[in-house]
């Protein structure tokens, strides 16, 4: 596995040999601040384990949020609206 593109209806997985596949991710995901485990359906049929040191801090946070909510935060803001008021 070389890359995962998230944010669309179904994630897109890029393999080391350059092949790109779309596959559904199961709902039983394991998410902590150090690791994310994603059960991926056919054609991959395996569980992907991504650790915090495999990505940058921002990318790993986005992956964790997506794994928990099945969507990325809107607007790219990382704070609650109440925090924006001085």
Domain range for residue 63?
A: 3-72
Task: Tokens 């690791």: give the residue.
Answer: 35
| Bridge partner residues of 38 (DSSP) | 48
d(CA 1, CA 63): 15
Residue 78, in any domain of the structure:
no
Which residues 6+ apart lie within 8 Å of 7 measured at CB? 66, 71, 72
The reported pLDDT for the residue numbered 72 is 80
The reported pLDDT for the residue numbered 73 is 76
Residue 45, in any domain of the structure:
yes
HEC string for 24-60: CECCCCEECCCEEEEEECCCCCEEEEEEHHHCCHHHH
Residue 77, in any domain of the structure:
no
Residue 86, in any domain of the structure:
no
The reported pLDDT for the residue numbered 70 is 83
Residue 29 has pLDDT above 90, yes or no: yes
Structurally, the chain folds into a number of domains equal to 1
Residue 35, in any domain of the structure:
yes
Residue 79, in any domain of the structure:
no
d(CA 83, CA 74): 16
Residue 29, in any domain of the structure:
yes
| Average pLDDT along the chain | 85
pLDDT confidence band for 47 (50 / 70 / 90): very high
Tens digit of each residue's pLDDT (9 = 90 or more) over 56-84? 999 999 999 999 988 887 754 454 555 44
Residue 32, in any domain of the structure:
yes
The pTM of the full predicted model, rounded to 2 decimals, is 0.77
């Amino acid at each position: 596995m070389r890359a995962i593109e998230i944010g669309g209806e179904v994630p897109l997985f890029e393999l080391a040999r350059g092949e790109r596949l779309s596959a559904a991710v199961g709902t039983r995901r394991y998410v902590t601040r150090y690791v994310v485990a994603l059960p991926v359906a056919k054609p991959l049929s395996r569980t992907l384990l991504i650790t915090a040191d495999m990505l940058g801090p921002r990318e790993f946070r986005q992956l964790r949020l997506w794994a928990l909510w099945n969507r990325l935060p809107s607007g790219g803001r990382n704070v609650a609206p109440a925090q924006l008021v001085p």
